Amino acid sequence: MTSSLSQVLSRVRPSATIAASTRAGELRREGHDIVSLSAGEPDFDTPDFIVAAAMKALGEGKTRYAPAGGIPELREAIARKLKRDNATDLPPSCVAVTCGAKQAIYNALVASLNPGDEVIVPAPYWVSYPDMATLAGGTPVIVETKEEDGFLLTPEALEEALSANTRWLVLNSPSNPTGAVYGKEALQALGEVIARHKRAGVISDEIYEHLVYSNAGGAGGADDVSFVSFVEACPQLLERTLVVNGVSKAFAMTGWRIGYAAGEATLIKGMNVLQSQSASSATTFCQWAAVAALDSDMAFFAPMLKAFRERRDFTVQALNAVPGLSCAVPQGAFYVFPSCAELVGLKTEQGKRIEDDQALCLYALEQAGVAMVHGAAFGASPYLRCSYACKMEQLEEATTRLTKAFAMLS
């Protein structure tokens, strides 16, 4: 029997972030001493009150199918959250609950794209956006941003990338992998450009909303940016914006798989049709846990944010001290994205040339047991993505090992 996969799958790469953390886990299970800076998930446990809400739901028999778009109680909690935190006033009928924020983006693209439709993705981008656009039958249009612009998309570059075929701009602030955060004025400048192109909308991926180190006075000086939701900056574009968010990051709930999208009614209905013919719904008792999460006062979060900030400050200064690496201070999320340009082209002790950032990642894994993700997977080379969502001792160990391993390159 011939194995036949769909044609579209031949144009899609496996997720490099998932691949890197899976590989680190496999190597550990085989007995290797691996320090992983590859995982894009908090190392904290889900707060007890959220676990308790899930247990309560299980005890009450909330174990059956949920409506495709999510249980009404969660859609209401999301609508409350968007109004309270993000100046976004949408009814619960304009909210779709999904299996993680990832599925919200995927479902939105599948529900809205036709062949020839373009999706503008600023690079460095989260690995999944271009491939999801391809899977959905659209065409990703990658727009490079510059390190000297803080990896932020400029209105000029956006204008140049827009065409009559543009369906979406995907914005991610704070950004995975750079940690860049768009301020209100930067969003408004982009919004003005989008407003002139009537067919184009914005998918605003706000999954790292709470992970912003504003006014923290970090390693590289004062952080002056705070999180602003795209709709709050550009209320006139409410009908053309799909807000994507979820509980994975701030509530340490990556494995619960609850995310959501909120936006224009027809698109949300389309996403729900798609959900009804695929996953059916996100897991019912996890949705009840998400209600508790979103309605909480987030008192648990301050120590987490403090820990992330300390780790960020440590990681930035430690990576800048590693020979051949250099990075700016990211203002949000939990990633540092150092350039490794000085190391590409060097040779290992065995005489093997480090051709690119992927080769450097492999060298770091094999020589030092440090797992990271190569910048090329995020559309920017030569860079490394290091997640600092791990214990301080691991960060210390990783940077010590990298210093030793990279010093051996010549």
In the complex, the residues that contact ligand GLU under the rule CB under 6 A are 15, 17-18, 40-41, 102, 126-128, 176
Backbone angles phi, psi at 395, to 5 degrees: -65, -40
Is 251 an interacting residue with respect to ligand PMP (CB under 6 A)? no
172 binds, among ligand GLU, ligand PMP, none (CB under 5 to 8 A by kind): ligand PMP
At its nearest, how many Å lie between ligand PMP and the CB of residue 79? Answer: 19
In the three-class reduction of DSSP (H, G, I as helix; E, B as strand; rest coil), residue 406 is classed as: helix
Closer residue to ligand GLU, CB minimum distance, 42 or 324: 42
70 binds, among ligand PMP, ligand GLU, none (CB under 5 to 8 A by kind): none
Number of residues written out for the chain: 410
Is 46 an interacting residue with respect to ligand PMP (CB under 6 A)? no
246 binds, among ligand GLU, ligand PMP, none (CB under 5 to 8 A by kind): ligand PMP
Q: What number of other Cβ atoms are within 10 A of residue 297's Cβ?
A: 6
Question: Is the CB of residue 174 less than 8 Å from the CB of residue 208?
Answer: yes
Q: Give kind and range of the element (H or E) at residue 284.
A: helix 284-295
Site for ligand PMP in 137-176 (CB under 6 A): 172, 176
Any bridge partners for residue 36, and if so which? 371
* Closest residue to ligand PMP using C-beta atoms: 100
Choose, by CB under 6 A, the member of 15, 24, 34, 40 that binds ligand PMP.
40
Is 106 an interacting residue with respect to ligand PMP (CB under 6 A)? no
Cα four-point dihedral sign 41, 170, 238, 234: positive
Q: Catalogue the E-assigned strands of 3-111.
A: 35-36, 95-98
Choose, by CB under 6 A, the member of 47, 70, 100, 122 that binds ligand PMP.
100
Q: Give kind and range of the element (H or E) at residue 120.
A: strand 118-123
Residue position matching structure tokens 């690995």: 127
C-alpha span between 191 and 228 (Å, rounded):
13
375 binds, among ligand PMP, ligand GLU, none (CB under 5 to 8 A by kind): none
Closer residue to ligand PMP, CB minimum distance, 81 or 102: 102
Any bridge partners for residue 373, and if so which? 385
> Of 31-39, 43-51, 94-102, 336-344, which segment contacts ligand PMP by CB under 6 A?
94-102
> Of 46-54, 100-108, 114-122, 298-306, which segment contacts ligand PMP by CB under 6 A?
100-108
At its nearest, how many Å lie between ligand GLU and the CB of residue 215? Answer: 26
Nearest Cα neighbor of 383 from 347, 336, 320, 345 is 336
Q: What number of other Cβ atoms are within 10 A of residue 116's Cβ?
A: 11
C-alpha span between 354 and 31 (Å, rounded):
26
Is 131 an interacting residue with respect to ligand PMP (CB under 6 A)? no
Where do contacts with ligand PMP occur on this chain (CB under 6 A)? 40, 100-102, 126, 172, 176, 205, 207, 246, 248, 254, 259
